[in-house]
Amino acid sequence: MAKVEIYTWRFCPFCIRAKELLKKKKVDYIEYAIDGDNEARSVMSARANGRTTVPQIFINNNGIGGCDELYQLEQNEDLDQLLASLR
């Protein structure tokens, strides 16, 4: 099964939206709530090639970007394929 990780802020609408899509697709994920945690945000940024916005989503340690990129993968019908190819 693909390992999905998502860095979030608790009340971020984009984070909530991304998690809703993952839940709808019945994807288990590891959530890192980094509200106010500058060290965790630095770790996220390093993993995400310098990006500092949330959410940041990783599938099997590959950064796919944030909420917009997740929904674009879904719209293009690539998300299921990506998840299936990594299972």
Dihedrals phi, psi of 85, to nearest 5 degrees: -70, -15
Q: Please check the confidence at residue 36 and state whether its pLDDT lies above 60.
A: yes
pTM of the model: 0.93
Of 33 and 85, the one with more pLDDT: 33
CB contact burial 72-83 (16+ within 10 A = b; e otherwise): ebeeeeebeeeb
CA 58, CA 2: separation in Å to the nearest integer?
10
The pairing of beta strand 4-8 with beta strand 30-33: parallel
* 3-class secondary structure, 66: coil
Q: How confident is the model at residue 81 (pLDDT cuts 50, 70, 90)?
A: confident
pLDDT given at position 1: 67
11-31 pLDDT, tens digit per residue, is 999 999 999 999 999 999 999
Q: Residue 31: what pLDDT?
A: 98
Per-residue pLDDT of 38-62, as tens digits, reads: 999 999 999 999 999 999 999 989 9
Class of domain 4-85: alpha beta
